[in-house]
Structure 1
Amino acid sequence: MPTVLRRMLGLRLQQLRRERGLTQQQVGERIWASGSKISRMESGMGGLDQRDVLGLLKFYGVTDVVEHDKYLALIRLGEQPGWWHRDSDLLPKGFELLSLESAARTIRCYEPAVIPELLQTPEYARATLRLRYPHRSKAEIEQSLAVRLQRQRILHGENPPYLWTLIEESALRKQIGGIAVWREQIDRLRQAIESEHIIVQIVGKQVCGPAIAGGGFVYLRFIERLLPDVVCVSQPTSTLYLEGYTDIRSYLTIADRLAVEAMRPGETAERLRALC
């Protein structure tokens, strides 16, 4: 199982333990294991198998079979080097990103089609989800929306990650959800760039971003330096997670090139005002 995927699972188990006010040693003693084993599981530096994860979930009072399936599905994601997640009912869109983004020190993303997910308003996010999943029920859309909004909380907590986004100017002009929703979304962007930890660069049409990058992606660098960087590439029905050296280097080069050729961050506010 890839290191980052183990870390992602470990973070979720750590969160469950802390919510119950328990130490690693206390958990180990109560499930006939050692505190060091719990530490290895939570740090992502030790192996994770289905039996251990199910045992911890039951101990933490997570008895819902559907919830169990979500964790087991995450384990199965890591069975190949270029691990990927196919959208399904078990894992709402964005579920697997919750822990990855919360553990990130830097998030860099390029978005050619819509406003990046971490900066979307609720109504704009709902509209984009409906466009992408026209056959899903209202309940399924709302479930995915709730996950997306939960992911956004990392930008407003203590020690938020540094978010550096590159957005195609054509994406900014798309009035997804109608003009009122679109204007509210542009206002949200104007507010976001006032934060020191959020940078938004606009990629003009002369840059030919889609031809350079091929499509949107999210690049994650983690607080824990032992963890490899990860690139997330979203596709219509799945998300691919890359952590190989060649892949990481290629996407970092693309991000750097786009950043050099895009408008300066200081120009973003003026361009956003001109849109409306």
Structure 2
Amino acid sequence: MNAPSTQLLMGRRAALKSVAAAALCGVPMLNWAQLSVDRWRLLVNEAVTADLSISMLALRYRGWADYMGAQIRNKQVVVDPVIDIQNFVRQASAEQKPLVIFGKSVNQLAKLVRDGGYQPLVHRPEPYKAAFIVGKNSQVQTVQQLAGKRILMPDEFSATAAVGRAELRRLNVREPYISHTRYQDSVAAQVAAGIAEAGLVNPTIAKKWAEAGGRIVGETQPVVNWSVLASPKAPPEFISKMTESLLAMNSQSTDLLAEIGVKKWVKADRSEYLALLDYTRE
């Protein structure tokens, strides 16, 4: 992804101000004393699909951060993108918690909801499902036939790996030999090279794999997808206002959503995250 030109950024800022002003019309005021700082942090978990530098990731989320800041009386929102999953969890669990989190490692988000008191706001509407892939000449036809096979998965703390292990357990696949590599695309490359007999990848990589002639032998159970959470300390008025503002993006700020790879938001519910953890047994 190339950095947007200065002209494009200026145009986006102008459009953003107009959208934010429209979104604020008719919305009850929050008790701003409960949000005492002049700026707050948006912690972004890009998980194991990111192929950009931290500075490029910060630029990707800048427009969205400005939009959210405009909803809270022009608060300054600091974008803090994190790729390493464990580092993301440490930051989210630290004493100085970010006010808002956007994450792709939904199993880790679910634990922050269950154990850390984070409050779900919205998530992508389509469910998340990982796919088991094999080479076009493989004799494997089903996930059950992966018993005793070498299965390569991405980062062991990723949502992909968590739901993959859960599905192997659900299907009672005996003695699979599971190993991990950091990135999703590395999984596909090693399966294509014959280094691994099968791999587990996210829907984006799975689609590319199938289009290139590879085979998908099964998918995991559907679970909640990329999500936005608010700090345990965020007041109820903030939760209501920010949820409303995020849902308003579906019609008012589709360009900002497209920049972060989201088509639309739907309202989140705590039970969805608990159901995910029941599946993964985390």
TM-score in terms of structure 2 length: 0.27
TM-score in terms of structure 1 length: 0.27
Structure scoring higher RCO (CA < 8 A, sep ≥ 6) equals 2
**More helix as a share of residues:** 1
